[in-house]
Amino acid sequence: MIQQGLNQIYKGIASFGSQPPSALSTKFDSIAAMRSARLAQTTVFGDLNYPNRKQYLAFPSYTCMSSFAEQNNCENILEIGAGLSTAVWANLAARTGTRVCTLDANLSRMQSYVRGTRHDALVAKHIEVIEGVSLYCDEFVDFYTGTSRTSYGGIDIAAFRNHINEFQSLNCSFKRRHKVSRIAGHRDWSAHDLMTTESSLSLSRRLLDLFSANGDFKNEISFMKDAETRGVAGLISEFSHDKPPWDLVFFDSGELASMLEWTKLKNSIAIGGFAAFHDIFFPKSIKNVIPCAAIMADPDWKIVFCDDSTKQGILIAERLR
């Protein structure tokens, strides 16, 4: 169950009639959007090759996000991490002419989802697809193993540390909870204690291993070194200088990459534009917990939508200035 603080945000966004409507609710009815998203899954995206029931249940978040982007006139969208969501962006681009660029280290998974469907041709025609790795190995390793960091994305760790627990959820497998409990040394752990000290980021090697490929942080390092050898690493620099700036960036890449990608791209989003995050709940994921917690303490950003109806969850924030 989502913690009280974030739940209040969600209720404030989703509540209509019990209080005067906010500027956001005038533009975007989150309840109606999720209802339409579930309908669209059947009528528009029913032919996709869903890999499992978990992905099927999470899918409406993508169409809801697409509706949000359309209603807010987002014309320049970046997706980091291709997947079922890419088919949704392709349908949006086909209808509206929106520019969508997708970056992923391995496109074969996304391609398997659309193969043999009408979405295959839409992705090929309307999505600018780039295959490669967003980061360089050295910056990735330094972020996780270098000098202790007292700030993240320009925000002091101490300022958002308590917000981390807002994204702690037991809505995940017992196996994952058990593994985290073993790392913590007890069952009564809290997310912020596992990721920070009072004033700095502190991600243990055992925690990094848990969210790494095949349970070993060394595999993440090897993967990036291989990408550098092939000349397809560090591609995020191409997007951080995009002109005009991005109207929406969807952060949904690797478990350990997204945390660093946010710090590199947050200032490349237009004022009035949006950042969208998938996999926001720990310990199901560690991908976007820190970015979302930091946003809650960042005066330049405001959470405008949060869906906790799936294990993964999705959050959208607006850049205010």
Please give the helix or strand (H or E) that residue 274 lies within, else none.
Answer: strand 269-278
pLDDT value for 22: 33
Per-residue pLDDT 10s for the chain (321 aa) are: 444 444 443 344 333 233 333 333 344 566 777 788 888 899 999 999 999 998 998 899 999 899 899 999 999 999 999 999 999 999 999 999 999 999 999 999 999 999 999 999 999 999 999 999 999 999 999 999 998 899 999 999 999 999 999 999 988 899 999 999 999 999 999 999 999 999 999 999 999 999 999 999 999 999 999 999 999 999 998 887 767 899 999 999 999 999 999 999 999 999 999 999 999 999 999 999 999 999 999 999 999 988 887 889 999 999 999
Domains of the chain, first to last: 4-139+217-319 (3.40.50.150)
pLDDT value for 28: 57
User: CB of 150 within 8 A of CB of 196?
Assistant: no
**Single-letter amino acid code for the residue at 116:** G
Q: What is the pTM of this model?
A: 0.89
pLDDT value for 8: 45
pLDDT value for 30: 64
213 DSSP 8-state letter: G
pLDDT value for 118: 96
- HSE-CB at 185 with a 13 A cutoff on CA atoms is 3
pLDDT value for 248: 98
Concatenated DSSP letters of 142-167: HHHHSSPPSEETTEEHHHHGGGGGGG
CB atoms inside a 10 Å sphere around CB 287: 27
Residue 19 and residue 183: Cα distance in Å, rounded?
A: 44
Residue 41 CA to chain centroid, in angstroms? 20
